[in-house]
Amino acid sequence: MTHMNAGTGTLKRLGYATVLVAIAFVSIYGYGRYQNYQADLYTKMHYQDIAKARAARMEAEITALTASLEGDPVRIGEKTYSYAEIVEDFLNIAIPKYLWLEDADEYTRREVEEGRKEHYQPDNPSSFISRLPESITEHFLRSNGSPQDHVINKWGNEITIGLGWYGSRVEHHLFYSMIGQKSEKDTVFIDQILKVKADLEKLTGIPVRFMKPYEEMENPFIGKPSARLLVIPIWRETTYRNISQGHRGLVNTMGPYFQSGIGFTPFETFQINGYLLPKADNAIDYSVCRISPRRYNEALTRAFVTECLARALGLPELSKTNNKAALGYWNEETGRKDKEIFDNRNKIEREIRAKGGWDAVVEYQKKHGKYEYPHHLVKTNGLENGFLPYDRFMIALLYCDDIKSGMNMHDVIYVLKESDRCVRQAKEKARR
């Protein structure tokens, strides 16, 4: 009996020791993960600070270079701008200030490197990249060379617009079923694209073609032309952020794996999320943006489509002069209020869950309803009807023949200093 008690005591001591070792291991592992998280957070803030400092320096340089420009005042809509002011804002909108992955944090870089190894297997027929159009895989390889940074990017050939990402059945709705039947919300996107299409052609001087989603689905990968300007509706639930706006254009599962892309307003979480993929000569080859229609009313969804189409032409940055235009910070007020309401609601639900578990949260939601976007606060400034005059002017100025893809800020200023022809043409085109 004594031996049995001794054996039992030994087992108990071994059990306690095992538990203590396990607790210590979990603590060390958890602390290590916490340290990694803190390090990633620090590097993310560090790289963003570097990127923002560079952007501030570029903005200051643009201001200094354009200050002495002389020309007739430019009236756009109801407001008159000085010649120097309008050229300065054009450069702030059209010249990208951020770098693609160079400005990303270490965590994002590691994720991208692992993702490239996983997805980029051109000889493996089951890998994702093997099913993409050959023209888009070039942006993984850059075998024809990489584009310049901080220069003008614009389309040179026909612009083809499509809905959704190639072959994805995860992040976006297919719009057409396999038998070609439309979904109820197709018309919002299709109608808005078609509404703006004539303006796109007039302002750019380039043919624009809308490719029906069902045509794309018949054989979306091989042997058929594919759309180059992609509007991707995201039908899953998101937080207060418009479309999970992430750093450096992480727009869909493949986005960050491309080389030398240009993100849309990368640090502004309330505007459209998207990116450009220029060719080696900085002519735009592809453009991608995505919108979350599940959360928004029709007017706001249409306004985001309008902003998407404006930025996709080669105007990725925010206007410093006009916050009502599609190229300005038009959604900031609604976005910030939405974030405030969402954060407060989220805090309440976390406290309820801590006290009463998930069932208590469900009961709370039954009583108060799930969080909804504050549609009553939405201010679209008429963007659901298409571009505002300021947007039209900036697009037309970008597509002046004298302004070429690959020009830096000094080149553009020289062109606009030598002649006001581009500004005069843009002003005429901006009038409906």
**In 3D, which of 260, 140, 142 has the Cα closest to residue 130?**
140
**Nearest CA among 239, 246, 288 for reference residue 267:** 246
Find the range with the poorest average confidence among 34-48, 163-177, 354-368: 163-177
Banded model confidence at residue 335, pLDDT cuts 50, 70, 90: confident
Task: Report pLDDT for 119.
Answer: 63
Tens digit of each residue's pLDDT (9 = 90 or more) over 342-374: 778 888 888 888 888 888 888 888 888 766 667
Where is pLDDT greater, at 244 or 31?
A: 31
Residue 421, classed as helix, strand or coil, is helix
Nearest by Cα to 253 from 160, 166, 147: 166
Q: Which residue has the tokens 């000094």?
A: 410
List % helix, strand, coil for the chain (3-state, nearest 5). Answer: 50, 10, 40
Residue 43 has pLDDT above 60, yes or no: no
Mean pLDDT of 168-194: 55
- Rounded to the nearest 10 degrees, the angle between the axes of helix 409-418 and helix 421-430 is 90
Please state the rounded mean pLDDT for residues 305-321.
Answer: 96
Q: Which of 273-282, 344-353, 390-399 has the highest mean pLDDT?
A: 390-399
Residue labelled with tokens 């439309």: 182
- Provide the token pair at 117: 């190894």
* Residue 165 pLDDT: 67
Question: Strand, helix or coil at 193?
Answer: helix
d(CA 298, CA 391): 21
Query: What average pLDDT score do residues 268-274 get?
Result: 83
For residues 285-313, average pLDDT: 87
- Asked if 251 contacts 289 with a C-beta cutoff of 8 angstroms, the reply is yes
CB 120 within 8 Å of CB 140: yes
Which tokens sit at 48? 């963003």
Per-residue pLDDT band for 233 (boundaries 50, 70, 90) equals: confident
What is the percentage of the chain residues whose pLDDT exceeds 90? 39
- Assess whether pLDDT exceeds 90 at residue 32: no
pLDDT of residue 128: 61
Pair of tokens at residue 382 = 């008429």
CB 235 within 8 A of CB 175: no
Give how far Cα 213 sits from Cα of 170, 178, 227, 232, 312, Å.
Answer: 16, 11, 10, 11, 19
pLDDT tens digits, 113-163: 776 666 666 666 666 666 666 777 788 778 889 999 999 999 998 999 988
Instruction: Identify the CA nearest to 95 among candidates 57, 137, 48.
Output: 57
**How far is Cα of residue 375 from the mean position of the Cα atoms in its chain?**
22
Cβ(160)–Cβ(227) below 8 Å: yes
Burial of 19 (0-12, 13-18, 19+ CB in 10 A): exposed
Tally of CA atoms within 13 A in the half-sphere of 168 that contains its CB? 19
DSSP-H helix ranges across 312-403: 332-368, 389-398
Residue 183's pLDDT is what?
53
* Cα–Cα dist 377/174, whole Å: 30
Confidence of residue 179 (pLDDT cuts 50, 70, 90): very low
Q: For residue 220, name the pLDDT band (cuts at 50, 70, 90).
A: very low
Q: What is the pLDDT of residue 342?
A: 75
Q: Are 283 and 153 in contact (CB under 8 A)?
A: yes
